[in-house]
Amino acid sequence: GTGFLQKNGVLVGAAVIGLALAIRFWIATPAGKENWDRFLLHAPIIGPVVRKATISRFARVLGTLVFGGVSILEALEIAGLSAGNRVFLRSAVEVGAEVRAGRPIAEAMRDTEAFPPVLTHMVAIGEETGDLPKMLGRVSDSLDFEVDTGMRRLVSLVEPIIVLSMGAFVGFVVLAVMLPIFQAQSLVK
């Protein structure tokens, strides 16, 4: 209980700070960053929003670059970098290598962990019709709408939690101030 924390508070505090620093340094390594990015994509509650936002950013940048005349191989690498997620960067590089070997983009995308069926399907249609930038733009627009909806849901979930946390904190402070006063009064009687 509280006796343990009173006796070992400094040790517990140092352990918590040490763990936080270890995680921070681990995330700074390439493997740690990729694992952290993978965790964010699959995390409960925020994962779907992060995933859709990342895919949307990737599709928007890829479509814009291809429309601007950048080669598909360069565009894939730049879009992978702009996605801001190591999992997508690695997958984009893998797709680029497959495309360089002569494989269609959509087919190469299907074999990676990052790209969802909606994106690979629209890329396939874009390749068949010769209008890849337009299809990528449609995917991005659709996902942007879903991200906005998801963010509104997240905010509506977080607001009550913040209010309850603040209420609990205020209650704790009031108890911490009032309890000694009540105890002192009972000693006086």
Tell me the per-residue pLDDT of 146-169, one tens digit each, with 9 for 90 and over. 999 999 999 998 899 999 999 999
Yes or no: say if 50 and 43 are a contact pair by the CB < 8 Å rule.
Answer: yes
Mean pLDDT of the chain: 91
Q: In the predicted model, what is the mean pLDDT of residues 41-65?
A: 94
Amino acid letter at 134? K
Positive/negative CA dihedral, 75, 149, 114, 83: positive
Locus of tokens 């990052």: 114
By the 8 A CB rule, do 113 and 91 touch?
yes
Specify the length of the chain in residues: 189
- What phi and psi, each to the nearest 5 degrees, are found at residue 68? -80, 0
Write down the pLDDT at residue 2.
59
**CATH class for the domain made up of 43-154:** mainly alpha
* Cα separation, 43 vs 27, whole angstroms: 16
The token pair at 71 is 């080669």
Q: What is the pLDDT of residues 122-151, one digit of tens each?
A: 999 999 999 999 999 999 999 999 999 999
Distances (CA, A) of 188 to 50, 58, 139, 180, 185: 59, 70, 73, 12, 5
